[in-house]
Chains A and B, each alone.
Chain A
Amino acid sequence: MFDQRTDEYQDIRDAVRALCAEFPDEYHRKIDEARAYPAEFVDALTRAGWMAALIPEAYGGSGLGLTEASVIMEEINRSGGNSGACHGQMYVINTLIKHGSEAQKQHYLPRIATGEWRLQSMAVTEPTTGSDTTKIKTVAVKKGDRWVINGQKVWISRVLHSDLIIVLARTTPVEQCRKPSEGMSIFIVDAKAAQANGQLVVKPIPNMVNHETNELFFDNLEVPEENLIGTEGQGFKHLLSGLNAERVLIAAECIGDGYWFTDRVVKYVNERVVFGRPIGQNQGVQFPIAEAFIEVEAANLMRFKAAALYDADQPCGAEANMAKYLAAKSSWEAANACIQFHGGFGFANEYDVERKFRETRLYQVAPISTNMILGYVGQHVLGMPKSY
C-alpha cells in the first residue's frame, strides 16, 4: 500500500510526523475557527530546528536543501496542519542567505535559527499593480545614511507575527532604467519598531482562510543603509530565486494536502455503508479518488525535479512553476473528491475537510495564479508571443 512507502527522507518525515502528532486535528480546527495564529505549533517546529532547515550550519541552522525543506512542508500539511503559518520563513530567508552580506547574515541568521526573531514576510504585491511587479509604486529614496520608503502593499502575510520583513521598493524611476525589471531594491525592515513609531501601518484583511494577511502603508519609513540586501537596483532579480523556492514549497504543501484528502476519503468511503455496501465500491466514487491520487503522484515527481534543479543551482523557473501548477490542481481535485464523498459530513467543521478544502483552494491563486503560470510556460518555455 502506498502509505507504507518509504523514501530517503524518511528520518525527516518520521520526526516531523511525530511532532505534528502532538497537534491533532482539533488543535488546527480551533485555531482556524478563532482565526488565530498557531503559535505553539510554530514554536514547537522552531525549537526542533525545522524552521532553520535552510540556514547554513555556520549560522546555526542545518544547511539542508530545498528538497528537504519541501518534505518538511509536505509533512506539515499531510498531518492536517497548515504550513501557511510558517512557510514564509523558509523561502524569505533564502533571499538573505543568497544575497545578504556577511555582516547581515552574521547579524540575522543565528537569531532567526533560534527563533528569537522571525523573518517570514515579503512585501512585494501592491493594490494597483497585482502580478505586474515592475510597475510597483512604492519608492525608496536615499537621504544621508538612510533610505526613506513611501508606498503601499497588499496581501502581505504574517506581518503581525514577524519581527523582520523584506520590502521591495523602486530606487530608480522606471523611465531611467534599461529594463523595467531593474531599478528596484530589497530592504530588510524591523517590522516591530516600524509599527511602534508609526512609519509602518498594518491593516489585517479578513479572508476565506486563516492566513493573517494585510495591507501595509509606509509613511516615511526610515531604513538604515546597511539594511539594503544585495545590489541596489537588482532587488527584483534577487527576489526571483526566492520566488522559485516558494513555488516548490507551495507545490509540496499541495502534495501534502492531496495525500491528506485521499487518505481521509479512502478511509471514509471504505467505512460508509449506504444501500447495503461501502460507497467506495461504486466506480462513480472510486474513480475520481483514483484520478486525484494519480495527479498528486505526478505532481510529486515534478516537485522533486524542480527541487533537485534548485538545489543544484540550475535554472528551474519552468519546473518550479509547472510543479506548483500540477500540485495545486491535483490537491484541488483531491479536495473536491474528498468533500463530495463525505456528503453533508464534508461540510461539518469537525471533519476538517471543509477547512483543508478552503486552504488548498488558495494555491491556485497564490502565491502565483494559475494563469500567470500558463502565460509563463506559453511564452518562456514554448516561445509563443508575450500575452501580458
Chain B
Amino acid sequence: MRILVPVKRVIDYNVKARVKADGSGVDLANVKMSMNPFDEIAVEEAIRLKEKGVAEEVIAVSIGVKQAAETLRTALAMGADRAILVTATDDVQQDIEPLAVAKILAAVAKAEGTELVIAGKQAIDNDMNATGQMLAALLGWAQATFASKLEIDGGKAKVTREVDGGLQTIAVALPAVVTADLRLNEPRYASLPNIMKAKKKPLEEKTAADYGVDVAPRLEVVSVREPEGRKAGIKVGSVDELVGKLKEAGVI
C-alpha cells in the first residue's frame, strides 16, 4: 500500500502571531514556519504503518510556496520515502484554499496510485478543517476524520474517532481518507543520520497548473484582528458581594 500524506507549511506554533497593520491577515514575512502539528502526527502514523509492514511507501506532498520544500524535508527526515512539492503561489501571504488543495491532492492521489491518504484534521493557521473531507468527496472515497487510533485490516481501516462525549469506532473500506487528531500518536523527532538521508531523498517539483487546478481565491477575508486583551479583574470580599457584582453586570 502506498500512503499519501499532505503536509502544510504554517506559522510555527511557538511564534506569537501578529496581525498586519491593515488587518488583511497575519504577518508571515520573516516569521519562523514549520510543519502543521497535525500533519506531523499524520506523517508519524504513515511511517508507523510502513514500519509495521502494512505500507510499502510513504509520499509526502505539500502545496503552496516553494519554501514548503523545507517542510517536505522535515517529513523526509522523519521517514517519508519521497516528496512532491506543488508550487501554487509565489506569495508567502497567500493561503491556498481547501477546495483547490483538495483538487490537487485528488489528482496526486490518482497519479500516484495511493490507497490511503492520512492528513492532519486541520491546519493551525486558519483552522478550516475542510481539506480531508473535500478530498474524500472529490475522490469518492470513504472518510474517517478526527482519528485517535488507526488499524488497517485487509481492505478496511478501523478508525477510532474523537467525537463529542466519547470515542466512536468505525470501519471504512479502502481507499480512504483519514484525518489525524491530536492523540493519534506522538511524532518522533528527526535523528541526525535521518536528516542527512533526507537531503538525498527524491523531491519532485510540480506546479498547480500541472494538475490543471485554478488556485485563485474564491473566499474573501474581510478582516483579521487580534483577540481582545484580557481585562483586569476585581477582588470581592464575600459571596453576597460576588452575587451583587454579577447581577450588576447583568450575567445572572
Contact = CB atoms under 8 A, between A and B. Distances in A.
Interface of A: 1, 4-6, 10-12, 14-15, 18-19, 47-50, 52-53, 57, 62-64
B31 A52 contact: no
Given A4-B30, A10-B70, A49 B77 contact: no
B190 interface: yes
A12 B191 contact: no
Contacts of A47: 191
Contacts of B193: 49, 62
Interface string B191-205: 111111000000000
Query: Of residues A48, A50, A63, which shows the largest number of chain B Cβ atoms within 10 Å of its Cβ?
Result: A48
A238 to B, nearest CB: 27
Interface of B: 12, 15-16, 30-34, 70, 73-74, 77, 189-196
A18 B196 contact: no
A15 B32 contact: no
Query: Of residues A5, A6, A63, which shows the largest number of chain B Cβ atoms within 10 Å of its Cβ?
Result: A6
Contact of B195 (A4, A5, A15, A52): A15
B30 A52 contact: no
B15 A15 contact: no
A330 B118 CA distance: 47
A49 B16 CA distance: 32
A48 B192 contact: yes
Query: Of residues B30, B73, B77, B195, which shows the largest number of chain A Cβ atoms within 10 Å of its Cβ?
Result: B195
B192 A4 contact: no
A368 to B, nearest CB: 28
Nearest to B199: A11
A14 B74 contact: yes
B59 to A, nearest CB: 20
A5 B14 CA distance: 12
Contacts of A57: 196
B192 A15 contact: yes
A53 B193 CA distance: 9
B28 to A, nearest CB: 11
A196 to B, nearest CB: 33
Given A1-B16, A15-B195, 20 more contacts: A4-B12, A4-B15, A4-B30, A4-B32, A11-B70, A11-B77, A11-B190, A12-B195, A14-B74, A15-B77, A15-B189, A15-B190, A15-B191, A18-B189, A19-B189, A48-B192, A50-B192, A53-B192, A62-B193, A62-B196
